[in-house]
């Protein structure tokens, strides 16, 4: 059977782990311990895979509570999550929900090959609180967590200081979902991106995300601010988009892997009734 995960080394201190479904999680190696950012869908024996990469004790920090990022948490003992995202984790952690996600991404036949590796649902899992500005000192390398709400209320970004790498995950990428009931309006999101851009200015040389490809252009936040403005000015391309029973539009024209046809990074998938903060949305 094909392995669900494989490693893409970035440096001696940082390993990217890519899932068969295209999600990236990141393993940062310190002198005294390791930090794993995200745990994917809770499938494929992630803990065993990570323990084959390092003998260091492992701490886990989650970017947010969604089905494709937080569901492997029960495999580990020391997991941090912004508490505002716990309800999202609880709604999406069932095996049935996760199997549906795998089928949507891999197809029925391939998804069924991994069904027996699904982690048992643990809606009452006791997370440790992940706070804005929290620092993980791994020994020789530090990782700082910062709030970047929008995609979810508890969305977090991570700055690996010594590597000058900013991990934005789903906070700002080429297919940022901004259309379900947990997301904010486009106008509010634009303000969050502007705040993050100021916070991280001059502190990174590379930006990594969580889907399809690892590294994106360092100007992605500026590009995303422009995308938000186009949406508010009603000049976006607005391609139809459907995902697990939900309908939305893609702001900028792109291909099936969300690469924009104009060559820029940064794109939003949003709902027409969730553009301005004053709008009454559900």
Query: What are the DSSP calls for 42-79, one per residue?
Result: S-S-HHHHHHTT--S-EEEE-S---TTTBTTGGG-SSE
Stated length of the chain: 282
User: What's the rounded mean pLDDT across residues 168-193?
Assistant: 97
Residues 6+ apart with CB under 8 A from 149: 155, 184, 192
Residue the block writes with tokens 């106008």: 187
47's torsion region: left (phi>0), alpha (psi -120 to 50) or beta? alpha
Q: What is the pLDDT of residue 243?
A: 84
For the chain, what is the mean pLDDT? 96
Q: How far apart are CA 137 and CA 226, in angstroms?
A: 35
pLDDT tens for 84-110 read 999 999 999 999 999 999 999 999 999
The mean pLDDT value for 197-225 works out to: 97
| Average pLDDT of the residues in 117-146 | 98
For residue 16, pLDDT beyond 60: yes
Set out the domains of the chain in order of their start, with CATH numbers.
5-171 (3.60.15.10)
Question: What are the counts of helices (DSSP H) followed by strands (DSSP E) for the chain?
Answer: 6, 17
Number of other CB atoms surrounding residue 76 within 10 Å: 16
Confidence at residue 114, expressed as pLDDT on a 0 to 100 scale: 97
- Token pair, residue 20, equals 């068969």
CA-wise closest residue to 132 among 154, 160, 161, 163:
154
* Burial status of residue 97 (CB atoms within 10 A of its CB: 0-12, 13-18, 19 or more): middle
Q: By the 8 A CB rule, do 228 and 186 touch?
A: yes
* pLDDT for res 1: 53
pLDDT at residue 3 in the model: 92
CA pseudo-torsion sign 161, 164, 168, 172 = positive
Note whether 241 and 269 are within 8 A (CB): yes
What is the H or E stretch that residue 195 is in?
Answer: helix 186-200
């Amino acid at each position: 059977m094909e392995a669900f995960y494989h490693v893409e080394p970035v440096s001696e201190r940082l390993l990217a782990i890519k899932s068969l479904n295209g999600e990236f999680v990141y393993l940062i190696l310190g002198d005294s311990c390791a930090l794993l950012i995200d745990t994917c869908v809770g499938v494929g024996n992630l803990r065993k895979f990570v323990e084959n990469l390092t003998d260091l004790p492992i701490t886990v920090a989650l970017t947010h509570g969604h089905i494709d990022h937080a569901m492997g948490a029960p495999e580990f003992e020391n997991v941090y999550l912004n508490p505002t995202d716990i309800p999202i984790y609880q709604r999406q952690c069932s095996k049935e929900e996760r199997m549906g996600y795998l089928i949507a991404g891999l197809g029925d036949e391939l998804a069924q090959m991994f069904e027996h590796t699904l982690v048992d649902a643990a809606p009452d899992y006791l997370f440790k609180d992940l706070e804005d500005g929290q620092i993980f000192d791994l020994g020789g390398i530090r990782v700082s967590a910062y709030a970047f709400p929008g995609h979810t209320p508890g969305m977090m970004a991570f700055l690996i200081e010594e590597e000058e790498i900013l991990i934005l995950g789903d906070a700002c990428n080429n297919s940022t979902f901004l259309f379900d009931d947990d997301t904010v309006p486009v106008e509010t999101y634009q303000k969050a991106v502007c705040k993050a851009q100021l916070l991280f200015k001059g502190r990174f040389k590379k930006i990594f995300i969580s889907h399809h490809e690892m590294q994106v252009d360092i100007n992605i936040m500026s590009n995303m601010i422009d995308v938000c403005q186009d949406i508010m000015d009603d000049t976006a391309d607005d391609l139809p988009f459907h995902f697990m029973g939900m309908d939305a539009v893609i702001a900028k024209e792109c291909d099936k892997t969300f690469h924009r046809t104009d060559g820029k990074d940064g794109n939003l998938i949003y709902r027409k009734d969730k553009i301005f903060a004053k709008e009454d949305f559900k």
